[in-house]
Amino acid sequence: MTFGRQPQDNRSQFNQQYGQSQPQNGQPGYQMPIGQNPEGSPYAYSAAQAGQGPVDAQLAYSYERTRRVSIANAYGQMTLALLVTAAVAIFTQMTGALNAFLVATGAFGWIGLAIVQVVMAVALGARIMKMKTGTAYVMFYLYAALMGFTLSSIFMVYDLGSIGIALVISAGFFVALTMLALTTKVDMLKAGPILMVALIVLIVSQVILMFFAPSDSTIMVISAVGVLIFAGMTAYDAQRTRALFAQYATNPDMIKRLSIICALSLYLDFVNMFLYLLRLFGGRN
C-alpha cells in the first residue's frame, strides 16, 4: 500500500493556487524562481532583472537567507511529524489499541483508516490557502499521528531488528538524496511527469498483483520498483521545495503555507520508501 500519495499529487492545484504555469509538452508547470539566472547558478541573482538596476547585495542576501531558513523549517516539520508517527506507533503497539480497534470494527475499520488518511492528505493540499496556518499545522500532525496508529501494524509482521535496519537505511538514503538534489545542477523538476506516471503504474500494478499473483517474488519486485520511484520522488520534492521557496521568498504568509505542504510531501516520500525497504529486506516474525 502506498500511503498518502495520490496520482495527481495535488500539483495541478499548487500550480493554479501559486500562480505556476500548467505543464506543456511534457514539462512540469514550473516558473523561473525570483532571481534565477539561466546562464549561471540556478538561484544566483543577476546584475539586472526586468529592466531594473543592479540588485542590492543586502536584498539578495536576505532572499537567500529566507530560502535557506524556509527549507530548514520544512525539513524540521517533516522530522517532527516522523517523530510523532514513531511515538504513536510505539504507544499503539504497547497498549494493543490497533488490535482492539480492528476487533471492534473488522475489515471496515482498516478500510476506514485508509480512506480517512487519503481524505486528510488531499484536503490539506486542496484547502491550504483557505484555512488558517495554525489549523493546517494541527491537521498535518494529526495526520502524522493517524499514520503512526496505522503503521503500528508493522510490529505484528516484522521483527524489531528488521524495522530498525529499514529505518536506518531509509534515513541514509533520504539524507543522501536530499543533499544530492539540493547541490546538483541536474534539473529533477523535469522528471516530475515521468515520476507521476511511474507512481500511477506502481499503484495500479500493486492492486492487480495483490489479487491475481500474490507471491513473495511479486512483493520483492514491487518493493524494489517502489524504492526506486520514491527515491526519485525524494529528489524531485527536495528541488521543488527549494524552487517554491525561492519563488515566494518575499511572501512570508505563502512561505508558511508552502512549508506545510512541502513537509507533507517529504514526509510521505520517507514513509513510503521506508515501507518498501522493509518489505524488501525485512524479516517476518
Is 128 among the domain residues?
yes
Name the nearest CA neighbour of 15 among 6, 2, 27, 5.
27
Judge contact between 233 and 195, C-beta under 8 A: yes
pLDDT digits (tens, 9 = 90+) for 81-94: 999 999 999 999 99
Task: Please count the structural domains in the chain.
Answer: 1
Tell me the residue type at 48: A
Is 274 among the domain residues?
yes
pLDDT digits (tens, 9 = 90+) for 67-79: 778 888 999 999 9
pTM listed for this prediction: 0.77
Is 40 among the domain residues?
no
Is 72 among the domain residues?
yes
Is 32 among the domain residues?
no
Which residue is associated with the grid cell 494529526? Answer: 142
Name the nearest CA neighbour of 247 among 27, 5, 29.
29
pLDDT digits (tens, 9 = 90+) for 201-225: 998 988 888 787 677 788 888 999 9
Judge contact between 46 and 32, C-beta under 8 A: no
Q: Which residue segment(s) compose the domain that 150 sits in? A: 11-20+54-281
Which residue is associated with the grid cell 494541527? Answer: 138
Is 164 among the domain residues?
yes
Is 144 among the domain residues?
yes
Which residue stretches of the chain are H helix? Answer: 11-17, 57-95, 97-105, 107-127, 133-151, 154-157, 160-183, 192-212, 216-247, 252-281
pLDDT at residue number 275: 95
Is 265 among the domain residues?
yes
Q: What is the mean pLDDT of residues 26-49?
A: 38
